[in-house]
């Protein structure tokens, strides 16, 4: 299966604001999230974008928002659960997860592959995960931001940011879309 399929669909994010569990990524807050969003790619850095949910996440178009959700409020004491799929090659896959603050990462069928749930200054974790077979794997990435800026979170597998199509996939999608348009165009009668 081509790698580009794994990163085309995006990732669902569920966000809780002003939560006391924001100092431990392994503790999911109780109750419904304050907002949900889709991420085009998990690559965020408040030192570049800003320290509000809107700025940090690149104005993702929040939905299912609670009445208390504030997309322009401080990003401090925020908790996010990302769920999605990523493609893994059979055998060794290299993961890169820079973060500030806590993060845990679970890959379905493999288990917990990163467990650094507490506050930290910006750190970069590079590690290998061995997949039993090639294919799409469900993941859950839990992230907490606390103790003030900066906020940093990235997630890449084998050099590709999770949630972002590889450069070659744009060409494949374009070619497929063009083929579909040709097939569906109205035909002239003779």
Q: How confident is the model over 36-54, as a mean pLDDT?
A: 95
pTM for this one? 0.82
Query: Do residues 57 and 97 lie in contact, with contact meaning Cβ atoms separated by under 8 Å?
Result: no
pLDDT tens track for 130-174? 999 999 999 999 999 999 999 999 999 999 999 765 444 444 444
Query: Do residues 36 and 12 lie in contact, with contact meaning Cβ atoms separated by under 8 Å?
Result: yes
Listing from the earlier edge strand, what are the strands of the sheet with 135-145? 35-39, 11-16, 78-88, 135-145, 103-107, 111-116
- Percent of the chain's residues with pLDDT above 70: 81
Comparing 53 with 40, the larger pLDDT belongs to 53
d(CA 146, CA 152): 11
Question: With DSSP H G I counted as helix, E B as strand and the rest as coil, what are the percentages for the chain, rounded to 5?
Answer: 15, 40, 45
pLDDT tens track for 1-27? 333 333 335 799 999 999 977 788 889
């Amino acid at each position: 299966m081509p790698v580009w399929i794994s990163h085309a669909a995006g990732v669902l994010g569920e966000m809780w604001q002003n939560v006391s569990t924001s100092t431990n990524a392994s503790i999911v807050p109780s109750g419904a999230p304050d907002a949900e969003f889709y991420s085009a790619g998990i690559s965020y850095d408040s030192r570049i974008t800003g320290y509000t949910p809107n700025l940090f996440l690149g104005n993702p178009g929040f939905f299912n928002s609670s009445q208390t959700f504030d997309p322009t409020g401080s990003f401090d004491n925020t908790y996010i659960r990302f769920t999605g799929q990523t493609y893994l090659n059979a055998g060794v896959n290299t993961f890169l997860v820079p973060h500030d603050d806590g993060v845990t990462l679970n890959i379905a069928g493999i288990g917990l592959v990163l467990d650094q749930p507490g506050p930290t200054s910006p750190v970069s974790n590079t590690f290998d995960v061995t997949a039993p077979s090639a294919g799409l794997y469900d993941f859950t990435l839990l992230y907490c931001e606390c103790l003030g800026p900066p906020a940093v979170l990235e997630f890449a597998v084998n050099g590709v940011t999770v949630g972002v199509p590889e450069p070659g996939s744009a060409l494949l999608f374009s070619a497929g879309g063009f083929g579909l348009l040709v097939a569906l165009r109205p035909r002239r009668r003779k």
